[in-house]
Amino acid sequence: MRPKRTGRLLRDALARRSMFLLTAAPPVLVVLIFLALAGKSRAVLAVNSFADVLFGASWHPFQGAFGLLPFLAGTLWVTLAAMALAVPVSLLAAVYLSEYAARKVRAATRPVVDFLAGIPSVVFGVWGTLMIVPFVRVLAPLFGAESSGYSVLAGAIVLAIMVFPTIIHVALEVFAAVPQSLRDASLALGATPWETTKHVVLRKGLAGIVAAVVLGLSRAFGETMAVLMVVGNVARPPRSLFDSAYPLPALIANNYGEMMSLPLYDSALMLAALVLLSVVVVFSVGARLVLVRAERKAE
């Protein structure tokens, strides 16, 4: 009996350590990526200060000017505009499918949402070029602006549609986890279906809703192909939704392969990737803090 017990204990210890290593791998990988990008960024930072690169408005690599402000501004404009469009629509759609839609409608809609999530981003980009860009070109004069159509708004619309499935899918799972007994108790006390949804379902699922929005934000922030096809890629900070923009992911995707032979240019692109990673981490940590506070309030 003792050899068997010893073997079981060894297997248990091996499984525990293996799971610990697998759990530790993702944060270690993030740190390694951060260190690799920081190491590759040292060359450009030896010539320009970090503040000059981060807040510089001029991007002329062959003249030694590597200002990332236009690209950072473009990323924030497109991402925040996309989330402003995507979050209300996605959450209202999830509420309808979870609380009001008939079972047949729900069963027919879920595969469509999953299919939308599986469409390649380049297809969204082509569709945005053919449909959204002309629409924005026609829309701009109605707001007293001129636009070629390749703009922040075009990128935001395409990006919002790409984010819809992520937020809807996670929100549906969150609403499904709310016990039916809570809904029945609220209705039994005389609350209307909307009051039950507002004060019971949404309140109970607030932490999960925040998580859904964060996942959508992460998807939007790092999207490259579809956005670079419709935003215009002009290295200038946008001043309105109808201006062209040049997000950081598009900058890296457009230039990295061609500029590897130029050390400073290559280093500047690595610094851009480092800034992008840092911004995503800051947003994720901030969202996590909001999530913790929401969980405490819900309790």
Per run of 10 residues, the mean pLDDT along the chain (length 299 residues) is 67 82 83 88 84 83 82 89 92 90 84 83 89 91 86 91 88 85 86 86 83 81 80 86 88 73 80 85 73 63
Reported as half-sphere exposure (CB side, CA atoms, 13 A), residue 159 has a value of: 34
- 185 in a domain, yes or no? yes
Q: What is the pLDDT of residues 40-68, one digit of tens each?
A: 888 888 888 888 888 888 888 777 788 88
Cα(254)–Cα(61) distance, rounded to whole angstroms?
Answer: 14
pLDDT, residue 157, reads 93
Q: How many domains does the structure of the chain reveal? A: 1
Which H or E element spans position 174? helix 152-176
pLDDT, residue 291, reads 65
- 261 in a domain, yes or no? yes
- 1 in a domain, yes or no? no
- 50 in a domain, yes or no? no
pLDDT, residue 295, reads 61
pTM of the model as a whole:
0.82
- 13 in a domain, yes or no? no
Q: Residue 265's CB: how many other CB atoms inside 10 A?
A: 19
- 12 in a domain, yes or no? no
- 254 in a domain, yes or no? yes
List the one residue out of 245, 252, 233, 274 whose CA is nearest residue 73: 245
Domain containing residue 222: 70-298
Find the CATH number of the domain harbouring 114. Answer: 1.10.3720.10
